[in-house]
């Protein structure tokens, strides 16, 4: 009788669970297509390392606690599988296995259950007294912890009762179960021992089936989505955005969930709400409206709100787009993101680096910016000048293009000629127009000349690479400018490029590849490092002019292109001692505030990002703050003006090297 009831309950639960999963997970089908199944072997490797290996989870100390629950969960999946199976086919049990193996399994189940129980208790205490973020003490979070704990307790209860009754043999390696048996025998329940196994068995079954059906409707859905989400992650660094097809009749960017890709939507269903992204985000950290966690959550909410009707509509003959609610413009935290939040992003990529399940926030933000700029022409008013300047004069400041070569009027520079000059020195707008960064360009040419590097420049014919436009969502204008630049570089026969700006570096190297131009691009720090290593550049015995140096990682050099080592090693060669590190460095570095087109926007909300980063640098008491990006240079120069009694100076790495040249 009980057996039949269980079979019916289990069948109903499985049916309901499957239906729920189909309904929830199937919603991602409303998203646009995206190729994510290439290179399956590499994907499996990523999944093993980052999902099963929990590599990113354990990067933060408390992540270890999660990993304990996760790994225990994997082992206990066996126990629970056996539990359900033997419920349907009573003869089937691990007890049929050879005794040593059975014993080992029981030992493993005991240990894992205990570990999970302990980890869940620690998690509950942490969430109660030191929550990961404001508002994380939700009923849902505690309920999930309670359910896991209850499952473990029911397991021990069942095993203990069976041992106490003598139904099961005590196993030497199952100490907790044995202890539970002893406790039961000495408890008031001892007189009702006969009924206990059934009670615990049904309790365990009820918890298991209830939890299973609660999953799809909770943030705990991530136990189903996180592993595939890691498998489906972008195998390349997310340092540029895909092109758009500017044919008439097309729509651009995304303002509703069906305009995002299916992977964007799966991301939203994979979020565990751990809050790591928001701690890493420079905008969230300094009190801006943007919170990457809530952004992803908003996409999930909007998907749940609109997904079903979109899905029904896309199957039916007609589709009414008017019924879809907008992703942009509402209050944050609900089913839409505010425009202010979208414009706060510095595209630094810290959120994506922090996310244990590889959610890609930046592409979603740029897609929504694209909608605002291209479909609605809505953007902060400072950007109108930027867009006009870029379109008319191919530089962000609106300087006359004929002025572009002026920085070098006192120098004898050669124009780039294929076959005669090896490298194109791509000066960049800041290096050509900005007073402070012009000094860096001059220093760089001194270094290149000292090493006898063969290079040339484009002079006044150089055009802005358009990086800020692309991150700001003005893809149309970027597309126009990129095509011109690509054609120019191709006609000139450029193959090797050195840049002093990580933004130019990234665009020439990665964005332009989408236009069929494969360039060998090096950042000046890499090139100079190579020149020192090969002996082509002779450095004076260290002069100590720079004093103690702290290094700031540019997001587009570091996180977006993985160049951390070259500038550090170069600085060590020049100064004779290892560089000092800020508290947040390398992958965890904190943006200067100028990326993602923020260079051209006022910072009205919260504390200025550059001030926050400058304070972090000053805390190391350096003589010199070394940057490797013209935008960082501007942000640090500005930020230092707010620090009273500051004696530190900001130098580009090329300037530090130039000061240490022999002779």
Partner 1 sequence: MIVIACIKQVPDTTQVQIDPVTNTLIREGIPFIVNPYDSHALEESLRLKGSHGLKAVALSMGPPNAEAALRKALALGVDRSILLSDRVFGGADTLSTSNVLAAAIKKIGEQEEVGIVFCGKQTIDGDTAQVGPGIAVRLGFSQLTLVDRIQKIDLKGRTVTVRRKLEGRYEIVEARLPAMITVVRELNRPRYPTVPMRLASVRAEVECWSNEELRLDPNTVGLKGSPTWVSRIFSPQRSEGEIVGDGLQDPIAAARLLVDRLLTGDLLPI
Question: Could you tell me the sign of the dihedral formed by the alpha carbons of 45, 46, 52, 53, in that order?
Answer: positive
Q: Is 602 in the site for partner 1 (CB under 8 A)?
A: no
Binders of partner 1 among residues 239 to 268 (CB under 8 A) are: 246-248, 250-252
395 versus 561: smaller Cβ distance to partner 1:
395
Binders of partner 1 among residues 303 to 342 (CB under 8 A) are: none
296 versus 477: smaller Cβ distance to partner 1:
477
Q: Is 471 in the site for partner 1 (CB under 8 A)?
A: no
> How far is Cα 613 from Cα 603, in angstroms, rounded to an integer?
15
What one-character-per-residue DSSP string does 364-422 give?
Answer: HHHHHHHIIIIIS----THHHHHHHHHHHHSSTT---GGGTTGGGTTS-PPBP-BTTBS
252 versus 600: smaller Cβ distance to partner 1:
252
250 versus 410: smaller Cβ distance to partner 1:
250
Binding residue (CB under 8 A) for partner 1 from 118, 227, 340, 375 = 375
Nearest distance in Å: CB 484, partner 1: 13
DSSP state of 457: B
The span of 25-33, 305-313, 390-398, 414-422 binding partner 1 (CB under 8 A) equals: 390-398
Q: Is 384 in the site for partner 1 (CB under 8 A)?
A: yes
Contact (Cβ atoms closer than 8 angstroms) between residue 269 and residue 25: yes
Q: Is 395 in the site for partner 1 (CB under 8 A)?
A: no
Nearest distance in Å: CB 401, partner 1: 7
Nearest distance in Å: CB 347, partner 1: 21
Q: Is 376 in the site for partner 1 (CB under 8 A)?
A: yes
Coil vs helix vs strand at 243: coil
> How far is Cα 541 from Cα 221, in angstroms, rounded to an integer?
60
Q: How many CB atoms lie within 10 A of CB 172?
A: 10
Nearest distance in Å: CB 248, partner 1: 5
Q: Is 379 in the site for partner 1 (CB under 8 A)?
A: yes
Contact (Cβ atoms closer than 8 angstroms) between residue 254 and residue 367: yes
Helix ranges (DSSP H) in 586-659: 609-618, 630-640, 653-659
The span of 106-114, 399-407, 509-517, 545-553 binding partner 1 (CB under 8 A) equals: 399-407
Binding residue (CB under 8 A) for partner 1 from 2, 392, 487, 565 = 392
179 versus 480: smaller Cβ distance to partner 1:
480
Strand partners, 456: 424
Coil vs helix vs strand at 362: helix
624-627 and 580-581 strand pairing: unpaired
Q: Is 101 in the site for partner 1 (CB under 8 A)?
A: no
301 versus 479: smaller Cβ distance to partner 1:
479
Helix axes 2-25, 196-214, angle to 10 degrees: 20
Contact (Cβ atoms closer than 8 angstroms) between residue 528 and residue 498: no
- 185 sits in which H/E element: helix 175-185
Q: Is 409 in the site for partner 1 (CB under 8 A)?
A: no
Q: How many residues bind partner 1 (CB under 8 A)?
A: 22
Q: Is 400 in the site for partner 1 (CB under 8 A)?
A: yes
Burial, 188: exposed, middle or buried (Cβ in 10 Å; 0-12, 13-18, 19+)? exposed
200 versus 478: smaller Cβ distance to partner 1:
478
> How far is Cα 62 from Cα 538, in angstroms, rounded to an integer?
47
Nearest distance in Å: CB 404, partner 1: 11
Binders of partner 1 among residues 25 to 54 (CB under 8 A) are: none
423-426 and 455-456 strand pairing: parallel
> How far is Cα 338 from Cα 255, in angstroms, rounded to an integer?
11
91 versus 249: smaller Cβ distance to partner 1:
249
Q: Is 381 in the site for partner 1 (CB under 8 A)?
A: yes
- Using CB under 8 A, list all residues that contact partner 1: 246-248, 250-252, 373-377, 379, 381, 384, 387, 392-393, 398, 400-402, 476
């Amino acid at each position: 009788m009980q057996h039949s009831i269980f079979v019916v309950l289990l069948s109903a639960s499985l049916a309901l669970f499957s239906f729920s999963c189909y309904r929830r997970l199937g919603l991602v089908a409303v998203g646009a297509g995206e190729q994510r199944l290439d290179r399956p072997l590499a994907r499996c490797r990523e999944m093993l390392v980052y999902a099963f290996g929990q590599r990113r989870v354990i990067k933060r100390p408390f992540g270890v606690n999660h990993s304990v629950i996760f790994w225990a969960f994997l082992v206990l999946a066996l126990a629970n599988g056996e539990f359900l199976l033997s419920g349907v086919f009573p003869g089937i049990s691990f007890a049929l296995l050879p005794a040593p193996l059975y014993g080992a399994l029981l030992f493993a189940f005991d240990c894992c259950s205990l570990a999970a129980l302990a980890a869940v208790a620690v998690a509950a205490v942490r969430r109660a007294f030191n929550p990961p973020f404001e508002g994380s003490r939700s009923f849902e979070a505690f309920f999930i912890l309670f359910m896991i704990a209850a499952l473990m307790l029911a397991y021990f209860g069942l095993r203990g009762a069976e041992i106490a009754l003598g139904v099961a043999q005590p196993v030497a390696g199952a100490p907790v179960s044995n202890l539970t048996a002893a406790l039961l025998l000495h408890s008031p329940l001892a007189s009702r021992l006969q009924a206990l196994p059934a009670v615990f068995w049904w309790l365990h079954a009820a918890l298991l089936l209830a939890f299973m059906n609660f999953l799809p409707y909770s943030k705990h859905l991530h136990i189903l989505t996180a592993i595939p989400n890691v498998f489906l992650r972008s195998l390349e660094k997310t340092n540029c955005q895909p092109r758009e097809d500017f044919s008439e009749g097309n729509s651009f960017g995304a303002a509703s969930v069906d305009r995002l890709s299916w992977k964007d939507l799966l991301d939203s269903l994979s979020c565990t709400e751990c809050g790591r992204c928001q701690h890493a985000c420079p905008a969230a950290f300094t009190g801006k409206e943007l919170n990457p966690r809530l952004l992803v959550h908003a996409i999930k909410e909007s998907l749940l709100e609109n997904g079903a009707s979109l899905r029904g509509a896309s199957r039916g003959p007609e589709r009414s787009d008017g019924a879809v609610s907008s992703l942009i413009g509402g209050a944050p935290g609900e089913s839409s993101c505010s425009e202010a939040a979208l414009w706060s992003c510095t595209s630094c990529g810290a959120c994506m680096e922090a996310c244990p399940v590889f959610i890609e926030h930046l592409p979603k933000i740029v897609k929504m910016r694209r909608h605002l700029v291209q479909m609605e022409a809505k953007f902060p008013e400072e950007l109108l000048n930027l867009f006009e300047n870029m379109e008319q004069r191919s530089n962000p400041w609106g300087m006359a293009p004929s002025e572009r070569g002026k920085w070098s009027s006192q120098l004898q520079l050669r124009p780039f000629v294929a076959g005669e000059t090896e490298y194109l020195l791509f000066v960049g707008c800041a290096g050509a127009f900005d007073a402070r960064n012009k000094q860096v360009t001059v220093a760089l040419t001194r270094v290149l000349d000292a090493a006898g590097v063969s290079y040339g420049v484009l002079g006044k014919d150089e055009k802005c690479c358009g990086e800020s436009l692309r991150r700001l969502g003005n893809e149309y204008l970027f597309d126009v400018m990129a095509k011109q630049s690509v054609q120019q570089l191709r006609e000139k026969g450029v193959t090797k490029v050195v840049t002093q700006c990580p933004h130019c570096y990234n665009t020439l190297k990665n964005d332009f590849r989408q236009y069929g131009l494969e360039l060998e691009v090096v950042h000046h720090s890499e090139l100079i490092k190579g020149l020192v290593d090969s002996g082509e550049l002779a450095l004076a015995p260290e002069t100590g002019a720079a004093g103690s140096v702290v290094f700031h990682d540019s997001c587009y050099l570091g996180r977006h292109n993985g160049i951390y080592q070259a500038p550090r090693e170069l600085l060590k060669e020049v100064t004779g001692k290892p560089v000092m590190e800020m508290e947040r460095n390398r992958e965890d570095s904190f943006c200067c505030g100028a990326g993602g087109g923020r260079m051209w926007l006022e910072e009205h909300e919260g504390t200025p990002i550059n001030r926050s980063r400058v304070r972090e640098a000053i805390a190391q008491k350096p003589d010199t703050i070394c940057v490797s990006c013209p935008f960082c240079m501007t942000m640090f120069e500005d930020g230092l003006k707010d620090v009273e009694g500051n004696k530190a100076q900001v130098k580009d790495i090329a300037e530090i090297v130039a000061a240490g040249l022999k002779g």
